[in-house]
Chain A
Amino acid sequence: MTTALAERPTSAATPPRSTAVLRRIAEMRRTSPGRLRLMLAVLLVLAALTGTVAGLTARAAATGTADLGGRAQPLLTEAETIYSRLADADTTAAQAFLSGGQEPVVLTARYEEDLSVAATALTSAARRTPEKGPAADAIRALSAGLARYNALVATARADNRQGLPVGASYLATASELNRETLQPQAQVLFQIAEQEVDAGYDDARSSWWLSLLLALLLILVTALLWVQGRLSSATRRTFNVPLVAATAVTVVLALAAGVVFATQRDALDDADRNGSTPVTTLAELRIMALRERAAEALTLAGRAGSGADEERFTAISDQLVFDDPSLDGLEAYTDEARSQHEAYVALHEKVRELDDTGRYDEAVALALGTETTGAFEALTGTLDQALTERKAVFDDDIHRAGRGLGVLTVLGPLLALLICLLVGAGIRARLEEYR
């Protein structure tokens, strides 16, 4: 009872709090010191906001850039490694089968290397993806499938050593698993990584944060100038030194942010245009070339003459023209790769001609021989070189993009604090005059 009685007059007498604040502000605007206090409050809030947002923007951009360079792009590289190593393992296994008799040591070593590199890339890719989602599903399917694939190939080898034809059937089953299940999963992972890289660029650019920061800086400078204009017309002093200094510091902050973010965006654009995009294209080209070689080996291993695998070879071969617009400026590599590819395809056509005219053994010998192997490896070598170069460009750009962002994260709030102090000093001097 007593509390109810005590409360009733209070709630009846005082209007809602917000209305009270508005009324007080309205009252303040009527007196000169009131107006000064209002200006002080607005400038302090604006400066604090600008400083915080400058720090946060730099931090978001730094995190985004680091994520792009340290996670998204490496994930793409790993997905590409898994995909191309799988395609190469398939080719190698088929070639080892074709060569007959004891498996050549070179091919065994290459197969082992393919699988161990793919497994390593798979482990790192797993670390770079969230536990749930399509990327994790693809990685799980690949891990399980890779073990099964390896087991099938191992059985094929053991059977082969004992002269059991069922070894060939194990190899066919393994190859089927590789092409029908594993490679499509690796492709899914590759596509996810591609999307993550695109999203990574958006995060690194932090466009939303940056526009907010820009707006705040503009408002702060305008407010500072306006306040100085009012003060100089109301008093005889033309300049309020602390406020002029505050304006200068704000301009310095704007310039620093401008330089850092302009550099970052420039570096990111360059990383995208001359790094990620050509890397993706080159990786795709290399995978296509490897699948081409696999199709050739499978046609011979299948011993069925030109069929579905040869059709796949032709389809891939027609697409391998190395004239993607993203490779502009890399003519030194693409021209070389184009002529190397043509040389390889010419040899492949000889292989097909031999096989189709009943000279199977000669066809196998030519396909596995040093001439064809050399021609093909020259092509992948050129693509590898171009890839390595483009990856280096990307790494450099990402390093450049990250420069200054860390400093800005600290400098932004510090400069804002300085602006606050200067604004306080400048307006307090005027307020003193009304004592």
Chain B
Amino acid sequence: MRRAAGVLTALLLLTGCTTVEEPVTEKPSAAPEAAEETTTAAPDCDARASLRPTGSLPAAGRMPAGSYMEEIRKRGRLILGTSQDSLLFSSRNPFTGAVEGFDVDMGRQIAAAIFGDPDKLQIKVIPHGDRTKVVADGQVDLVINTMTANCARWQEVDFSTVYLEAGQKLLVAKDSTVRGIDELGGRKVCAAVGSTSLRNIAAVSTGPIAVARPGWGQCLVAFQLGEVDAVSTDDTVLAGLVAQDPYTKVVGDRFTEEPYGIAISKNHPDLTRFVNAVLERDRENGTWTRIYEKWLGEDLGAAPQPPAARYR
């Protein structure tokens, strides 16, 4: 909710516009949060390649002296930045009030590796557009939030090895005949502020109008209120939206590749190596598959092979 206010105020301040629908297609500068995304002059890189773990995973509760993990252990909790409206990944359970999902479980694995207790995790909901910023300036230890590892973001933060492969698709009304985003020229398509999806919509040659909302949940609200014709983002996120509205469906093939990584500050390469070691262990001992089945199995089918780790 705060994030909604923050982003909206920023939008309003910059554009002097009172409607929330701010097509970002024409003027990407409308959202300052999106600035990071639009500076595409990032050098070529292998966005999937991360830092190699050093040695084996230290025992929980016994972090190497002087490491950032030891600092976190002394603090008593791991601070995870994520959202609370991405169903299946990190959303607030309306019955219990707890934030839960695939991404949160990834964070719980890391907390368990540091403390021996997965509950020593503080969840901080962060504005979608500020995800790299909050990591870079140390407000959170890591961001796990269906976040694509790409070269532009690698310039500001480090990413773990890829923990999930996704690709952008399109959500439309159940009775729609549209089969792909290129059929939506001139129509409004929603995506979250500061997401790669927003930029991808604007880049489609037939010219759909990208509409930015503070989060994915608010895109579904805009869709249900008839303010946009479609929502386009990663198939994984869309699965969470379809699960909440039986009058929608996901269409088309993945038209982008979105490898998800855990964002960590460049100041703490030891944490990145540690997280990669945790991911390595979870891929091997079946934890990854168990978490996948728990959250995504019902909507995306049986768990695939976990994405293979790549190191630089």
Give me the interface of A with B, judged by CB distance under 8 Å. Answer: 94, 97-101, 155, 159-160, 163-173, 175-176, 179-181, 298-299, 301-305, 307-309, 358, 360-361, 364
Given contacts A166-B221, A304-B126, 16 further A-B contacts (CB under 8 A): A97-B1, A159-B94, A163-B93, A163-B94, A164-B94, A165-B85, A165-B92, A165-B93, A165-B244, A168-B91, A170-B221, A172-B1, A172-B218, A180-B9, A299-B2, A358-B122
With an 8 A cutoff between CB atoms, is B194 at the interface?
Answer: no
Q: Are A298 and B1 in contact (CB under 8 A)?
A: yes
Q: Are B92 and A168 in contact (CB under 8 A)?
A: yes
A145 to B160, CA, bound (A): 46
- Kindly supply a per-residue 1/0 record for chain B positions 106-127, scoring 1 wherever the CB is within 8 Å of any chain A CB and 0 otherwise: 0000000000000000111111
Q: Are B2 and A309 in contact (CB under 8 A)?
A: yes
Q: In the complex, how many residue pairs between chain A and chain B have their CB atoms under 8 Å apart?
A: 122
A303 contacts across to B, CB distance below 8 A: 2, 84, 92, 99, 123-125
Contact (A360, B5) CB under 8 Å given A165-B87, A180-B12: no
Determine which of B8, B97, B217 lies in contact with A176 in the assembled complex, contact meaning CB atoms within 8 Å.
B8
Q: Are A309 and B92 in contact (CB under 8 A)?
A: no
A179 contacts across to B, CB distance below 8 A: 5
A307 to B91, CA, bound (A): 20
Q: Are B123 and A360 in contact (CB under 8 A)?
A: yes
Determine which of A94, A167, A301, A309 lies in contact with B94 in the assembled complex, contact meaning CB atoms within 8 Å.
A167
Determine which of B8, B20, B127 lies in contact with A304 in the assembled complex, contact meaning CB atoms within 8 Å.
B127
Q: Are A301 and B77 in contact (CB under 8 A)?
A: no
With an 8 A cutoff between CB atoms, is B172 at the interface?
Answer: no
Contact (A307, B2) CB under 8 Å given A163-B93, A165-B92: yes
Q: Are A302 and B125 in contact (CB under 8 A)?
A: yes
With an 8 A cutoff between CB atoms, is B4 at the interface?
Answer: yes
B244 contacts across to A, CB distance below 8 A: 159, 164-166
A169 to B220, CA, bound (A): 8
Q: Are B97 and A309 in contact (CB under 8 A)?
A: no
A31 to B12, CA, bound (A): 85
A169 contacts across to B, CB distance below 8 A: 85, 215, 217-218, 220-221
Q: Are B5 and A301 in contact (CB under 8 A)?
A: no
With an 8 A cutoff between CB atoms, is B54 at the interface?
Answer: no
A101 contacts across to B, CB distance below 8 A: 94-97
A163 contacts across to B, CB distance below 8 A: 93-95
A180 contacts across to B, CB distance below 8 A: 5, 8-9, 12, 18
Q: Majority SS of interface residues in chain B?
A: mixed
Instruction: Tell me the smallest distance from the CB of A100 to a CB of chain B, in Å.
Output: 3
With an 8 A cutoff between CB atoms, is B76 at the interface?
Answer: yes
- Kindly supply a per-residue 1/0 record for chain B positions 79-103, scoring 1 wherever the CB is within 8 Å of any chain A CB and 0 otherwise: 1000011010001111111010000
With an 8 A cutoff between CB atoms, is B297 at the interface?
Answer: no
Instruction: Tell me the smallest distance from the CB of A311 to a CB of chain B, in Å.
Output: 10
* Subset of 10 A-B contacts with CB under 8 Å: A165-B92, A165-B244, A168-B94, A169-B218, A172-B1, A173-B221, A181-B18, A302-B1, A302-B5, A361-B97
With an 8 A cutoff between CB atoms, is B6 at the interface?
Answer: yes
Determine which of A165, A305, A308, A364 lies in contact with B9 in the assembled complex, contact meaning CB atoms within 8 Å.
A308
A160 contacts across to B, CB distance below 8 A: 94
Contact (A301, B79) CB under 8 Å given A98-B97, A308-B6: no
With an 8 A cutoff between CB atoms, is B208 at the interface?
Answer: no
In chain A, what residue has the closest Cβ to B124? A305
In order of increasing CB-CB distance, the 10 nearest A-B pairs are A302-B2, A169-B217, A100-B97, A358-B122, A165-B91, A303-B125, A172-B4, A358-B77, A164-B244, A172-B1
Q: Are B94 and A165 in contact (CB under 8 A)?
A: yes
A159 to B5, CA, bound (A): 21
With an 8 A cutoff between CB atoms, is B259 at the interface?
Answer: no
With an 8 A cutoff between CB atoms, is B283 at the interface?
Answer: no
Contact (A168, B85) CB under 8 Å given A100-B96, A101-B95: yes
Q: Are A304 and B125 in contact (CB under 8 A)?
A: yes
Most chain A CB atoms below 10 A, which of B8, B79, B122: B122
Q: Are B84 and A168 in contact (CB under 8 A)?
A: yes
B79 contacts across to A, CB distance below 8 A: 358
B85 contacts across to A, CB distance below 8 A: 165-166, 168-169
A293 to B92, CA, bound (A): 22
Q: Are B217 and A165 in contact (CB under 8 A)?
A: yes
With an 8 A cutoff between CB atoms, is B3 at the interface?
Answer: yes
A181 contacts across to B, CB distance below 8 A: 18
Determine which of A155, A176, A360 lies in contact with B4 in the assembled complex, contact meaning CB atoms within 8 Å.
A176
- Kindly supply a per-residue 1/0 record for chain B positions 7-22, scoring 1 wherever the CB is within 8 Å of any chain A CB and 0 otherwise: 0110010000010100
In chain A, what residue has the closest Cβ to B245? A166
With an 8 A cutoff between CB atoms, is B214 at the interface?
Answer: yes
Instruction: Tell me the smallest distance from the CB of A149 to a CB of chain B, in Å.
Output: 13
A299 contacts across to B, CB distance below 8 A: 2
A170 to B79, CA, bound (A): 27
Instruction: Tell me the smallest distance from the CB of A107 to a CB of chain B, in Å.
Output: 14
In chain B, what residue has the closest Cβ to A163? B94
Q: Are A304 and B124 in contact (CB under 8 A)?
A: yes
A165 to B2, CA, bound (A): 16
In chain B, what residue has the closest Cβ to A170? B221
A180 to B245, CA, bound (A): 28
A275 to B294, CA, bound (A): 64
A99 to B20, CA, bound (A): 28
Contact (A173, B220) CB under 8 Å given A165-B94, A304-B126, A358-B77: no
A175 to B3, CA, bound (A): 12
A98 contacts across to B, CB distance below 8 A: 97
